Amino acid sequence: MCPRYTVQTQSLAQQDQVGFMKSLLIKAQAKIQFNKQKKLEKIIQFAQKKKTITNDDVQQLLRVSDATATRYLVKLVQQGRISRVGSPRDAKYQFVR
């Protein structure tokens, strides 16, 4: 075999592998975003039913950490879907119609 042919074959194989990895990464990111959106919708439905929710409620509902629950709640406040009531230490969140 010609050394030049071997280098070109390896290069094509590496390119295929990189393309495959990129497509996997894109699929994984899309799945993560889809799951996150489902969780946000679950929080909204819970807030509609309960009227007022807390960070602890979200932690128990989704089985997530305090920090993750806070990130979800902040995201929903930024989107204008819920509003924060009370001091930051004792915050409660209400569904916005």
pLDDT in tens, 6-42: 556 667 778 788 889 999 999 999 999 999 999 999 9
Beta strands in the chain (DSSP E): 52-53, 82-85, 92-95
* Three-state DSSP state, 2: coil
**What's the pLDDT score for residue 12?**
73
Confidence band, pLDDT 50/70/90 cuts, at residue 75 = very high
**Residue ranges of domains in the chain:** 3-95
- Residues 23-43 as b or e (16 or more Cβ within 10 Å = b): eeeeeeeeeeeeeeeebbeeb
pTM given for the model: 0.78
Confidence band, pLDDT 50/70/90 cuts, at residue 80 = very high
Report the topology of domain 3-95: Arc Repressor Mutant, subunit A (1.10.10)
